[in-house]
Chains A and B, each alone.
Chain A
Amino acid sequence: MQIFINNKPYEANASEKILDVARRNGIEIPTLCHSEALPGLASCRLCMVEVKENGRTGQVAACTHPVAEGIEVNTESELIAHHRKTLLQLYYLMAPQSKRIKAMLSYYHVPAFDRLPADKDNKCILCGLCTKACSELGTNAISTLNRGTDKKVGTAFDEPAITCIGCGACASICPTEAIEMSEQDGKRTIWEKTFQLLRCSDCGEYFTTPEALAHVRQKLGERAGKIEELQLCEHCKTKKTATKLKDGLKLEEVFDSLAK
C-alpha cells in the first residue's frame, strides 16, 4: 500500500506501524521507549505525529499506529513541534542528568526551563523498557512499583532480587543510562546484587554471569548442548560466525545450526 509522509508517497506493508515506514526511509521521528526488539510500549509519547485518516486529523503515536492505505502523516507540523518542545521540557525536569535527554534538548532547540525545579540526580524517565526486557528476556526481577507520580522501577521490596540473574538486559536497553551496572575484578554489580563473571572460552575476557548463561541454556533446552557459541563473548561470537561464512557455510545454514 501507499502512505504519505510529509506530502511524499512511500510504500508500506499492512503489518507495519508508521514509525517503521518513516525510519526505513530516513525520516526522523524522535523516540525514547521504542526498541525494535521489544516494540509496543508507547509510553514516551515523543513519536507523536499528525495523521489524516478517514477524513479526520488527529495526533497518534507513530510507534504503535498501524498504517492504512492513503493515510497522510505529518511529522513536523507546527503543533507537533510545539508539543514536542513542551514534552521535552518535562523530560528535562525529570532527568536532567541523562546525556540522551541533554542531546535531544539541544538538537530540538528546546529553550531553558526554570519555572519548576528539576530532579537533579535522576536519569530514569520510567519508560518501562527495562521491565519489559526483564519480563521477556530475563526473569521478572524488576517491575514498576506504585502508581501515578510515585511510580518507580525497582525490585520487590527494594531488596536484592532472588530471581535476578545479572544478565544486564535492563541496563543495556535503558535509553537514558539510568540503570547502574558496574564491573570490577571479574564481578558485576547490578540492582545491589553482585555476580561472579564467566570468561569467554576463546579470548578469556569476562562476558556474562553463570546465572544468565544457565537461564539461556534452560530456555534453549536440548538445543543448548549443540551451540558452542554460548561460551563466547559478543566479540568472539561475531568472529566465529564470520569464519563459518568465510569457510563456505551459507547464512541460512549458520542460522539453522543455531536454531537446531
Chain B
Amino acid sequence: MQNKKAVFVCCGTGCLANGSGEIYNAFQKQIKKLGLDVEVIPKIKKTGCHGLCQKGPLVHITPQEITYIHVKATDVAEIVERSIIKDEVIDRLLYFDKQQKAKIQSKEDWTFEKKQYRIALRNCGKIANDSIDDYLEKDGYKALEKVLKTMTGQEVIAEIKESGLRGRGGGGFPTGIKWSLAAKAIGDTKYVICNGDEGDPGAFMDRSILEGDPHTVLEGMAICAYAIGAKRAFLYIRDEYGLAVKNMRQAIATAKERGFLGENILGTDFTFDAEVVRGGGAFVCGEETSLLHSIEGSTGEPSPKPPYPADKGLWGQPTIINNVETWANVPVIINKGADWFASIGSEKSKGTKVFALVGKINNTGLVEVPMGITLREIIFEIGGGIPQKRKFKAVQTGGPSGGCIPEDKLDLSVDFDSLIAEGSMMGSGGMIVIDDRTCMVEFARYYLQFLSEESCGKCVPCREGIKSMLAILDDICEGKGKPGDIELLAEIGAMVQANSLCGLGKTAPNPVLSNIKNFRDEFEAHINEKRCPAGVCKNLTKFYIDAQTCIGCGACLKSCPVEAISGEKKKAHILDEAKCITCGNCRDFCRVDAICVR
C-alpha cells in the first residue's frame, strides 16, 4: 500500500471553479494513455478542500509528498512525466513561502500549515470524497462500532461532556449538556439534525467538510442518535451547496449499502436513517428554530425559546441540532478519548476551530487551529499578513453579526468567551481581515444592508431597528450625518441586542457597536468634518497627489478614466479635484503611495 503512488486533485468548490475538474480528467487520460506499469499507476483521487484555496487548483502527490499550486490542465503531462514517473520536483509549480523566503516542496512544510491542528478537517484533501473505503482506512466508523458495542448512551454523553466540546455553529453551547437534555426529554420520536445552512459571507468550512468528508458528519450524527435514542436524522444543507448535497447523498447511499445506516447497524439492534433537506435560501434558517420550521414546511422564521429544541424541536419532539463542524469532531473524540480532546485548546474552549480566512490577507483559505491561539498568529503567521504591505486595521470575526477587533487586541486568545468579551463572537468561524483602505463606517453599513435583507422581519426590534440604523449609516456615508447620530446608533443598537427574538437580531448591531467603540474617530470625521479618512465614501473623499512622494511614473495618469491627472514623466503629477470622480483607481495603481486622502 505504502509504495503505491497517488495523485490528490482538490475538487472542492473553490478549486473546481478554477478548473480542477479538467485537471482531474487530464490526469486520468494521461496515465491511461501511457499505460504505466501497474506498480506506479497512480490512484487519482478527487478530494475535498486542502485549505489554501487562494493557490488552487492544488495537486498533491504521494509518497513523494509534492504539492503543486495553480496547476493548469496543460501542466498535467509534465507532472506525470517528471514527478510521477521520475520522482522529480517541478520547481515552477511549487509554493513560494514568503515567511521562509523559499519554495517549499510539500504542503506539510508551508508556514500556512505549521501552526494548524486538524481534527474536523483531518480527512479533507486526504481522502477521496466519494469513497467510503478511503474513510474506513482512516478509522472511519470505528467510533460508531466502539459506541454500539462497548458503550451505553449515558457513557457516550459523559464522554462528550468530559471532552468539553462546545457547539461550533456560533453559540458555543456545551454539546454534551445539550445531548443529555434531549436524552432525558420525553418524546415518541427523537431527531438528530445537522445544521449545514452556512450563510455567513466568506465562510466555507461547513461546505468543505460536507464536500470533502461527508461520512464523518454521518458518523457523528449516528453516535448522537444512539446516545439520545433517536432513529432519524436530517441534514439541512444550504441550497447553493450543490456539490455538498451531491456528495452527502452519495455518502448516505453507500453507508446504507455497507450497513452503517439503516436497520440493525453493525449487527446490533440500533436503527438509524438520514436524509438531506435542501435549505430554503434564507440566512435566518441557520438559526435553529427557523431551521426546524423550514424542515417542517413552514416559513423560516424563529420561535421563542424556551422551549428549546432539545425539549421540543422538530414536530414538537426532542431534537438535537449541531453544526457540521461539531459533528465532525465527535468520532475523533470517541476514538481518541475525552482527555485527549480536552488537552487541546484553552481553559474553557476545548479542541480546535476552523476559520475561513478571507479579506485583505495573503493566504486566503481554511485554517484549523487550537483554541486559544492569538489572532496575530492566525493573521500574520498562518495567513501570511496583509497583501501589498498595507497596514492591518481590524479583523471581523463571526460573520455579518460579528464585531471588528482592532490592532491593539491582536494578541487576544481566540476562544468563545474572549471574543464575546470584545463585542464580537466566534460565529461559525468567518474571519475577514481589513486593511487601512477600508472605511469602518461603510463596513458596518454594508453588513447592516445584508442583515436588513436577511432579517426575517418577524420581530419589531430586529426589523425596524436594523432599518433605522441603516438609514442613519446611509446618511453618514453620504455626508448627511448629524451630531448625535453616534449616540442614537448606540442606543438603538443596544435595544435591538436586548429585545430581539432570535440570535440574528441579538447580534445584528455588533458590527456597528464594535466599530463605534473601536473606531469612533472615523464616525466623527464623517459626521463633523464631512471627511472619510479611508477614502472610500465617495461624497466625503478628495484625493490629491503628494508632490514630495510622486515619482512621476505615469501609472495613475494611465489608470484615470476621466483624465483628471496630468503631469510630465519623472515630475510630480497633479490631480484636478473638479474632474476627479473619486473612483480610487489611481490610488490602487500608485506604487509609492503618493495619492493621498484630504
Q: A43-B460, A148-B453 are in contact. Are A115 and B472 (CB under 8 A)?
A: yes
Task: Out of B452, B466, B484, B494, name the residue touching A83 (CB < 8 Å).
Answer: B494
- Please report which residues of chain A, range 90-127, place their CB below 8 angstroms from some CB of chain B when the two chains form the complex: 90-91, 93-94, 115-116, 125-127
Question: In this complex, what residue of A is CB-closest to B453?
Answer: A148
Q: Which residues of chain A come closer than 8 Å to B465, judged between CB atoms?
A: 90
A29 to chain B, nearest CB (A): 13
Count chain B residues whose beta carbon lies closer than 8 angstroms to a beta carbon of A: 37
Q: Knowing A42-B459, A149-B463 are in contact, say whether A87-B499 is a contact too (CB < 8 A).
A: yes
A151 touching B457 in the complex, CB below 8 Å, given contacts A43-B501, A48-B499, A90-B468: yes
* Contact of B299 with A83 in the complex, beta carbons under 8 Å: no
Instruction: With A42-B304, A87-B495 as known contacts, state yes or no: A149 contacts B459, CB within 8 Å.
Output: no
Within 8 A of B (CB), among A167-202: none
Closest Cβ of chain A: how far from B181's Cβ, in Å? 14
Which residue in chain B gives the minimum CB-CB distance to A64? B304
> A126 CA to B464 CA in the complex, in Å?
10
**B453 contacts A149, CB within 8 Å?**
yes
A146 at interface (Cβ–Cβ under 8 A)? yes
Q: Which of B304, B455, B494 has the most CB of A within 10 A?
A: B304
Once A and B bind, how many residue pairs between them come within 8 Å at the CB atom?
99
Interface string of B497-518 (1 = CB under 8 A from A): 0111100000000000000000
Q: Mark B446-485, 1 if CB is under 8 A from A, else 0.
A: 0000011111111111011111100110000000001011
The answer to whether B282 and A147 have CB atoms under 8 Å apart is: yes
Closest to A83 in B: B495
Question: Which of B284, B488, B495, B501 has the most chain A CB within a 10 Å cutoff?
Answer: B495
Q: Does B297 touch A at the CB level, under 8 Å? A: no
The answer to whether A93 touches B457 (Cβ under 8 A) is: no
Given contacts A43-B458, A116-B472, contact A83 B498 (CB under 8 A): yes
What is the CA–CA distance of A59 and B500 in the complex, to the nearest angstrom? 10
Question: Would you call A115 and B460 a contact (CB within 8 A)?
Answer: no
- Knowing A116-B472, A148-B454, the reply to whether A59 touches B467 (Cβ < 8 A) is no
Contact with B along A41-55 (1 / 0, CB 8 A): 011110010000000
Q: Does B492 sit within 8 A of A, measured CB to CB?
A: yes
Does the CB pair B306–A59 fall under 8 Å?
no
| Closest-CB distance, B297 to chain A (whole angstroms) | 13
A4 to B235, CA, bound (A): 43
The closest CB in chain B to the CB of A59 belongs to B498
B499–A83 touching, CB < 8 Å? yes
A116: contacting residue among B282, B451, B460, B471, CB under 8 A: B471
A contact set with B: CB distance below 8 Å: 40, 42-45, 48, 59, 61, 64-66, 79, 82-83, 86-87, 90-91, 93-94, 115-116, 125-128, 144, 146-151
25 contacts between A and B (CB under 8 A): A43-B501, A44-B460, A45-B459, A45-B500, A45-B501, A66-B306, A82-B495, A83-B494, A86-B492, A87-B460, A87-B461, A91-B464, A93-B468, A115-B472, A115-B482, A115-B488, A116-B472, A126-B463, A128-B458, A144-B299, A144-B457, A147-B453, A147-B455, A149-B452, A149-B463
Contacts A66-B306, A126-B463 known; 15 new A-B pairs at CB < 8 A:
A42-B303, A43-B501, A48-B499, A59-B499, A86-B495, A87-B495, A87-B499, A90-B465, A91-B464, A115-B488, A147-B455, A148-B454, A148-B457, A149-B455, A149-B467
